[in-house]
Amino acid sequence: MKDYLHVTMNDAEIGQLSALALAHIGDCVYELLTRGRLVSEGLTTARGLHSHTVALVRASAQYAAAKELLPLLTEEETAVFRRARNTKVHGVPKAASQAEYAYATALEALFGWLYLKGRYDRINALYDVIARQQAQ
C-alpha cells in the first residue's frame, strides 16, 4: 500500500514541479503544523481553533515567519525560497500586499519541498522557530 501521508519524491521528480506546485503541498503542511500546534496547546473550541489558525496562516503572518527564517536557511533552501518568491502569481488576496503574498508563497514552497524530500526534522526545526516568534 502506498503511504499517502508521507509522500516522498526524488530530486529529479521534485525538480520537475513548479514553485506553485511546491507551495500547494506546502500550504497543507504548514496548516497541518499550525493546527497541530494549536490543539496541542489546549485550544479545543471549533471557533477558537479556526480563528487562530486563520490568523497564523494568512499571508501577513507567513511573511513575518519567512523573514524570521531567512537567515537560518541553507543555500539549497534559500534557492527554493527565492525561486518561489520570484514566481509570477495571477492574483493576490485583498488582505495581502504583493510582497507579503510572494513571501508566503515562498514559505509554503519551502515547506512543500522539505516535505517531499522527507526532511521532517528540518520542517519541525524551522516551524519551532516560527512558533516561538509567534508566541512573543
Q: What positions carry a catalytic annotation?
A: 27
Angle between helices 59-69 and 120-135 (to 10 degrees): 110
Run of H or E including 130: helix 120-135
Measured at the alpha carbon of residue 14, what is the angle toward residues 110 and 9, in degrees to the nearest 5?
105
Q: What is the DSSP letter of 16?
A: T
Q: Comparing C-alpha atoms, which of 18, 13, 9 is closest to residue 80?
A: 18
Q: Comparing C-alpha atoms, which of 99, 104, 19 is closest to residue 56?
A: 104
Buried-exposed string 69-78: b where 16+ CB fall within 10 A, e elsewhere: beeebeeebb
